[in-house]
């Protein structure tokens, strides 16, 4: 989506995608990545997710990237953290507190190092079809050799062109062709037409 769309959503506090609790699929399936304490975690389009706290309790370094500075500042304010703040030559603002570093600005232009672990709960599904491949190319370029990503997607009968975008199993596998793609679990609502899926995406060694 256009950046202005997301800036407006955060400015108007229209953030129905934000969860007030740690995502259960993260807690249940993070271990499938065989993560180590010393492995860095990258979280694209992180918002103010408290999943960041959960990851920071288990890793020495967690880096989130978020377009909206409102979201980043809200994360630190709501968690009563006082970060160190600096602006990089790229124009991105970095907020650092203990294991956490949140980068405010465009994910596509942020200067990032490849990470062994990536967590995507709401990034891929936020991308319209016209931007999906650009996002996938970017995120897979940031997955270190042998790296692992935990991906959470949604599926439902979509009748509009607004996020979150529905991603069925075939589309996920097509989107990440060239990677090792493993479906870990599907959680379906009683109607059977809506639900979430959690995936393990692995890069070649």
Distance CA 200, CA 157 (A): 24
Angle (deg, nearest 10), helices 69-78 and 3-11: 40
Q: What is the DSSP string of 150-179?
A: EEEEEE----SS-SSPP--HHHHHHHTTTS
Q: Can you say whether residue 139 is alpha, beta or left, with left for phi > 0 and alpha for psi between -120 and 50 degrees?
A: alpha
Q: Which residues are annotated as a binding site for S-adenosyl-L-methionine?
A: 10, 45, 66, 121
Per DSSP, the residues of 76-142 read: HHHTT---EEEE-TTS-EEEEETTEEEEES-TTTS----EEEEEESSSGGGS-HHHHHHHHHHHHHT
Q: Which residues are annotated as a binding site?
A: 10, 45, 66, 121
Q: What is the dihedral of CA 139, 151, 168, 2, to 10 degrees?
A: -50
């Amino acid at each position: 989506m256009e950046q202005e769309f997301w800036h407006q959503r955060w400015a108007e506090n229209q953030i129905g995608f934000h969860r007030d609790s740690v995502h259960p699929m993260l807690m249940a399936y993070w271990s499938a990545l065989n993560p180590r304490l010393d492995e860095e975690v990258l979280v694209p389009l992180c918002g103010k997710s408290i999943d960041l706290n959960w990851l920071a309790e288990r890793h020495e370094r967690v880096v989130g990237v978020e377009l909206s500075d409102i979201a980043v500042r809200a994360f630190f304010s709501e968690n009563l953290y006082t970060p160190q703040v600096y602006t990089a030559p790229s124009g991105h603002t970095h907020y650092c507190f203990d294991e956490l570093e949140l980068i405010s600005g465009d994910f596509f232009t942020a200067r990032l190092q490849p990470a062994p672990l990536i967590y995507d709960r709401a990034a891929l599904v936020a991308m319209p079809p016209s931007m999906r491949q650009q996002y996938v190319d970017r995120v897979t370029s940031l997955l270190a050799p042998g790296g692992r990503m935990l991906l959470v997607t949604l599926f439902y009968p979509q009748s509009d062109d607004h996020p979150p975008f529905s991603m069925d199993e075939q589309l996920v596998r097509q989107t990440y062709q060239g990677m090792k793609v493993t479906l870990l679990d599907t959680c379906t609502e009683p109607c059977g037409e809506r639900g979430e899926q959690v995936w393990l995406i692995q890069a070649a060694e």
